[in-house]
Structure 1
Amino acid sequence: MIRILVTDGMAKSAVKRLEELGFEVVTQFFEPEALAEQVKTFDALVVRSATKVRKPVLDAAAETGRLKLIIRGGVGVDNIDVSYANEKGIEVKNTPNASSASVAELAIGHLFAVARNLAFANVSMRNGAWEKKACTGVEIYGKTLGLIGFGRIGAETAKRAKALGMKVIYTNRSGPKVEAEEYSWVSMDELLAEADFISLHLPAGKDAQPLINQENIAKMKDGVCIINTARGVLVDEEALLEALENGKVAAAGLDVYQEEPVKNLRLCSHPKVSVTPHIGASTAEAQEHIGEEIVEHIVRRFCVQ
């Protein structure tokens, strides 16, 4: 029997479907050392963002050679050493289509939150205050949204921003996209200088260096707002805090952090920051779609030869 290990959870409907197809599904999280032992007895491993699949785990899996497939339920695969897995004969897949709309909607949600000071207004009213003057915000209509990264989530965010009357510019590693002619491709420096709102939509990359750092913040407009629903490592949190304090950055909306669960209390309690606990794909619809894509990958690998 083909055995599937699911370490970070999966939609119940997907588990049920796999079991109906004759697969054995084990849903349990393991710390790295224990995971290295467990993968020796499974044919496929399904993870989200919490489980890191690095060389020690892959070396352990290679000892028995049983593990043939790793699936990341989500868009990026930066928590998996993909090239090393491939060297060991292990295929790596993700579910790029499943959560794009959900993450894009959260990015827009944070955009509204920072434009209208919703986080501060909510907390202050719960504390019995009536801070009407302090909650004066800005309209997003007519403003420029700069998207750094223009994959599926970036494209979905652009559609929603355009519908709200925003001008959308974007930059990416591969250059202008034919299917994105209604938006303007610009260089990174141009985007930093022109955007009123900047939203990140790209993976962390191998070097894992912050993109939003002191140098790049200095190139931005005064009063810019920054949204990050991509990867926490993309933002230098201390540089962001400094910019929030001196007014260079007006506000920030964050769903991801350098360390999760987040321990930077200065950042997540800052009155100019809207925060959520990495819930970009946490919608009922996204979870169902992710489960469906996972099932498709597993069936294609083990049932269709």
Structure 2
Amino acid sequence: MRALLLENLHPLATTLLRTDGIDVTSRTGALDEDELGAALAGVQVLGIRSKTQVTAEVLDQAPDLLAIGAFCIGTNQIDLTAAAERGIAVFNAPFSNTRSVVELALAEILSLTRRMTVLDKALHAGVWDKSADGAHEVRGRTLGIVGYGNIGTQLSVLAEALGMSVVFYDSAEKLALGNARRLTSLDELLEVADVVTLHVDGRSGNAGLFGPAQFAKMRPGSVFLNLSRGFVVDYAGLREHILSGHLAGAAVDVYPVEPKRRGDAFESELRELPNVILTPHIGGSTEEAQEAIGQFVATKLRDYLLHGATMLSPNLPPLALEATSGSHRLTHLHRNTPGVLAGINRVFAEHDVNIEAQMLGTRGDLGYVVTDVAAPLGPEVCTALRTMPQTIRLRTLS
């Protein structure tokens, strides 16, 4: 098998895949749609981070592709439905860089609340500007978390340890940790929070979530952070409220349009604003997080390629599978209609194939059957299964 890894993935990913006999090619930056489609010829495994866009058009040019690894939290850069329809499994790392993002958020909250960016800039300009004006402790102040998922919950616990009061808003029902309080609306959160931080996911419904109306409702002198997705915030509105003095500061790590490669030019209306921290999408960019992500996603890819395991895949039915022990394994991804499993087993029975173990999982319109049999399958069995009208992809693993 061949793998193409883009966007400076941790070397551990390459090591793990090569250990299992996969031929790995690595490139440093992202590829645009045309470049990616051409590069995927004869490739079974694609590894990316957040900048490479894997569209249905790209997938149409990659008939050999079996799996995509998103070496990051989000998967909105991948057309998950189109991948599933073509029998391509997707894996990501929803937990591996959580701590790194949380630590960056805490560092920025402390820096903005103490106006460290302004004081640092003054000293670099040769001006001694010692003053307590506008500087505050975080102890006793209220942190408002929008999106109480893996990152939001861990940030909640650590912020509370610093003495902050924590409130949060999430469209889904979430259990509050520690003394955090769940509020019933975003507006209610904006009324009470001294610090507002966004940790929402990349679903299309979150586009434009935070704009001028929301900034206007924030408390005077509060600070704003976005370490989630660039398209959820109207940054022109943020600029206006920073310049007007309504907001005391902001920290932004993600942008609607981001450069593809390290060293490329960066443009934003947020540049040169006072007490604004801009970072180049580095929330999860620590050596510890990238190593953990490399290990997690590469292991998921390996387990799928070798054993058919799909646990934690965001686009295929989840099955936790172990390695076969002397059996021959076949995986069958199909449209989830009545009678598919019976049809598969009818084919086995007609060809005198003895089933040693079998597992079925479903997710919406998809079904996934993994079958262990005693002897290798003949071509006539595979042909019969592959030509079933519900079949999306058939794989023989041993």
- The residue that corresponds to 1:70 in the other structure is 68
Q: Which string of whole-angstrom CA distances, capped at 9 and with x for unpartnered residues, describes residues 43-98 of structure 1? A: 1111101211112112212xx2x112111111111111112221222112110111
Partner of 1:170: 168
Distance 1:135 1:67, change over 3 A: farther
1:41 Cα deviation after fit: 1.4
Q: Distance in 1 between matches of 2:60 and 2:133?
A: 54
What secondary structure sits across from 2:166 in the alignment?
strand
TM-superposed deviation, 1:181? 5.7
1:277 is aligned to 2:280: yes
In the alignment, structure 1 residue 184 sits paired with structure 2 residue 181: yes
Q: TM-score normalised to the size of structure 2?
A: 0.72
1:19 aligns with 2:18: yes
How far apart, in 1, do the equivalents of 2:173 and 2:296 lie?
A: 29
User: Is the deviation greater in 283-292 or in 204-213?
Assistant: 204-213
Which residues of structure 2 form unaligned runs of 5+? 260-265, 309-398
Whole-Å Cα distance in 2 between the matches of residues 244 and 112 of structure 1?
18
In percent, how many aligned pairs have the same letter?
A: 33
Contact 2:72 2:93 in 1 (8 A): yes
**Shift in CA distance, 6/135, structure 1 to aligned 2, threshold 3 Å:** farther
RMSD: 1.6
User: 1:17: how far off?
Assistant: 2.2
**Which secondary structure does the structure 2 equivalent of 1:33 belong to?**
helix
Query: How far does residue 135 in structure 1 lie from its aligned partner after superposition?
Result: 6.0
Q: Could you say what secondary structure the match of 1:41 adopts?
A: coil
Correspondence 1:1-305 to 2 at 5 A: 2-28=1-27, 29=29, 30-61=31-62, 64=63, 66-133=64-131, 136-177=134-175, 180=177, 182-186=179-183, 187-207=185-205, 209-261=207-259, 262-264=266-268, 266-305=269-308
160 and 181 in structure 1: CA distance in 2 versus 1, 3 angstrom threshold: closer
Alpha carbons 2:148, 2:174 under 8 Å: kept: no
CA, structure 1 residues 208+172, in 2 after alignment: closer, same or farther (shift >3 Å)? closer
Secondary structure of residue in 2 paired with 1:268: coil
Shift in Å at residue 210 of structure 1?
2.1
Task: Give 1:268 deviation, angstroms.
Answer: 2.4
Shift of 1:232: 1.4
Structure having the higher Rg: 2
Provide the aligned length of Structure 1 versus Structure 2. Answer: 299
Show CA shifts across 1:73-125 (max 9, x none): 11111111112221222112110111000011001111111101111211221
Aligned residue identity for 2:195: F
Offset at residue 293 of structure 1 (A): 0.6
Kindly indicate whether the alpha-carbon contact (under 8 Å) linking 2:156 and 2:177 is maintained by their aligned counterparts in 1. Answer: no
| TM-score after normalising by structure 1 | 0.93
Mapped contact 1:170–1:191 kept (Cα < 8 A): yes
Distance 1:208 1:33, change over 3 A: farther
SS at match of 2:105: helix
Where 2:171 maps in the other structure, the secondary structure is: coil
Query: How far apart in 2 are the matches of 1:113 and 1:7?
Result: 33
Aligned to 2:318: none
Counterpart Cα distance in 1 of 2:243 and 2:272: 13
Tell me how far apart the structure 2 counterparts of residues 23 and 182 of structure 1 sit (CA, whole Å): 49
CA contact (8 A) 1:7 1:27 kept: yes
